[in-house]
Structure 1
Amino acid sequence: MRFLFVLFLSVLVGACTRSGAPTAEANRLRVLCYNIHHANPPSRAGVIDIAAIAAVINAQKPDVVMVQEVDVRTGRSGKALDQAAELGRQTGLNAYFFKGIDYDGGEYGIAILSKYPLTNQRRIPLPLDSATRGEPRVLGLATVTLPGKRTVTLANTHLDAQRAPTNRQLQAARIVEVLRQEKHPVILAGDFNDSPDSQTLQLLKRVVEPSCQSCPPTIPVENPNRAIDFVTFTPKDRFRVIEHRVIPERVASDHLPVLVELAY
């Protein structure tokens, strides 16, 4: 009987491990979400300091970085500077840029940086209410294979910043549609431009789980009072939050970066 009981426990543990739920010995992934204000330190008008942004990233030793407000060859950033590529060079991470809009002779949007090779990159335009003057926004997707041969979809976005929430809600609903079609677990991060209790976040929570419940504020950098930058994931049972931390870096950008460590 003792042998049969031990055998039963072994099979049960094996089944739980194979289900994909993180265990105490699970691998860990460090995810950084950072709105970089096109590498312009708010206290230094007109200055572009990509090295300062890279230093913030390098100090946290992330595996994945979701970056918003990225310039690629714009006039204000020096015409020749591809900020996504340069961040990749200075951090040693693979970089992929997703254009949001044409801007100042170049492009402006979001980027994903990753320790692991990025594949299956996709740019999904997000909707706007035609009655508003909202700026076009996108969802950027890429696939990575993590240690343990776990395939994950990385998703980055920067939702509309207008005071009225109409566009953010439309965009959140579209993101939910897209992520429900993903066959791999997803980590979605970005500047959502809305609060944890907003309708925007409630829509997103139909498919993703935030890494924080009482989320520390991320903006403004001096005396921050609002959380609008988030890391989320799905399905809930494929990840476990080890740490959610807002980095008190107040010089390089007008947002505080968010670092989340996940077990998977």
Structure 2
Amino acid sequence: MPTLRVATYNIAAGQNPDPQAINRLFTEENLDLIGVQEVDRHTRRNPYDMPAAIAGTRYHAAFAPAIPVMGGDYGIALFSREPLLNVTNHHYTHFGEEKRVYQHGVYEVAGTPLSVYNTHLSFETPALRQLQVAELTAAMHADPIPRQVLFGDFNMDQSRQEWDYFDSALRRANGGAGGWFDTFNGRDAGMQSFAIDNILATPNIQLSQVRVPSRILSDHQLLAATLIL
């Protein structure tokens, strides 16, 4: 069966991330496909094409701008060894202080299409996140491709029960058979749970070899897993 090594990673654009170090981490982890959150492009605080710099020569980048920031764009991005097909960006109709997006593309794995989603949900309240999850899962349910994976910083920081907003059939890398990983390594007195980053997959995909590398390049840790299609 085809396998993919995948990850999700919030790189904290406001903290001037090192794109070369991030690329090295992706390479060291032998990643094929990565969903990344908090990405700048041509902002005053990061005045360069961050997705292209992280991609280097090893990966292809697909950027989804969420909001304008400091003369440029801020959003999320997908990185892949082979180009994603049919990439689209979608704004949520419910949002807080900042507009939020999810992106979708198709990745071919040994002739098998994999539907790929990436998102960064709002931080304000569980109720707002629940509305965003409803929009996202409606899109996933309408997707004709049976194998689907979702990357994201879901900001589900008040209770692990927030993960119940998702279809219970979805498999979780964080909070699955390997237990919970506190992927947020910063300090925030308002947070009750620090396991806020995750990789979710449809039941026809097996998740294995879930790990959080010790390298600290952000206020989040990279969460990696192997998908068996």
TM-score normalised by the chain length of structure 1: 0.78
2:213 maps to amino acid: I
Q: Is the 1:221–1:249 Cα contact (8 Å) retained in structure 2? A: no
Aligned pair 1:231/2:182, yes or no? no
Find the counterpart in structure 2 of residue 182 from structure 1.
Answer: 143
- Shift in Å at residue 86 of structure 1? 1.4
Q: Spell out, residue by residue over 1:157-176, the C-alpha distance to the aligned partner (whole angstroms, 9 max, x if none).
A: 000012x2222111011001
- Shift in Å at residue 221 of structure 1? 5.5
Aligned pair 1:29/2:14, yes or no? no
Find the counterpart in structure 2 of residue 118 from structure 1.
Answer: 84
Equivalent of residue 168 in structure 1, options 129, 132, 135: 129
- Shift in Å at residue 206 of structure 1? 4.7
Q: Is the 1:240–1:262 Cα contact (8 Å) retained in structure 2? A: yes
More strand by share: 2
Q: Is the 2:9–2:221 Cα contact (8 Å) retained in structure 1? A: yes
More helix by share: 1
2:26 maps to amino acid: I
Equivalent of residue 83 in structure 1, options 43, 47, 50: 50
Q: State how far apart, in whole Å, the 1-side matches of 2:134 and 2:127 are.
A: 11
The secondary structure found in structure 1 opposite 2:156 is: coil
Structure of larger gyration radius: 1
Q: Which runs of 5+ in 2 are unaligned?
A: 188-192
Distance 1:226 1:241, change over 3 A: same
Q: State how far apart, in whole Å, the 1-side matches of 2:215 and 2:93 are.
A: 33
Q: State how far apart, in whole Å, the 1-side matches of 2:211 and 2:12 are.
A: 20
Number of aligned residues = 219
Q: State how far apart, in whole Å, the 1-side matches of 2:227 and 2:106 are.
A: 17
% identical aligned pairs: 28
Q: Is the 1:209–1:233 Cα contact (8 Å) retained in structure 2? A: yes
- Shift in Å at residue 217 of structure 1? 1.1
Distance 1:48 1:243, change over 3 A: closer
- Shift in Å at residue 48 of structure 1? 4.5
- Aligned residues: CA RMSD: 1.8
Equivalent of residue 40 in structure 2, options 67, 71, 74: 71
Aligned pair 1:245/2:211, yes or no? yes
After superposition, where does 1:42-61 map in structure 2 within 5 Å?
Answer: 47-61=16-30
Q: State how far apart, in whole Å, the 2-side matches of 1:159 and 1:144 are.
A: 23
Q: Is the 1:221–1:256 Cα contact (8 Å) retained in structure 2? A: no
Aligned pair 1:134/2:102, yes or no? no
Find the counterpart in structure 1 of residue 171 from structure 2.
Answer: 209
Find the counterpart in structure 2 of residue 8 from structure 1.
Answer: none
Q: Spell out, residue by residue over 1:168-208, the C-alpha distance to the aligned partner (whole angstroms, 9 max, x if none).
A: 11101100110001111110011000057233x21223563
The secondary structure found in structure 2 opposite 1:194 is: coil
Aligned pair 1:38/2:13, yes or no? yes
Q: State how far apart, in whole Å, the 1-side matches of 2:112 and 2:7 are.
A: 19
Q: State how far apart, in whole Å, the 2-side matches of 1:52 and 1:73 are.
A: 19
Q: State how far apart, in whole Å, the 2-side matches of 1:220 and 1:122 are.
A: 31
Q: Spell out, residue by residue over 1:22-50, the C-alpha distance to the aligned partner (whole angstroms, 9 max, x if none).
A: xxxx121101111001173xxxxxx4422
Find the counterpart in structure 2 of residue 192 from structure 1.
Answer: 154
The secondary structure found in structure 2 opposite 1:188 is: strand
The secondary structure found in structure 1 opposite 2:56 is: helix
Q: State how far apart, in whole Å, the 1-side matches of 2:86 and 2:127 are.
A: 30
Q: Is the 2:171–2:207 Cα contact (8 Å) retained in structure 1? A: no
Find the counterpart in structure 2 of residue 220 from structure 1.
Answer: 185
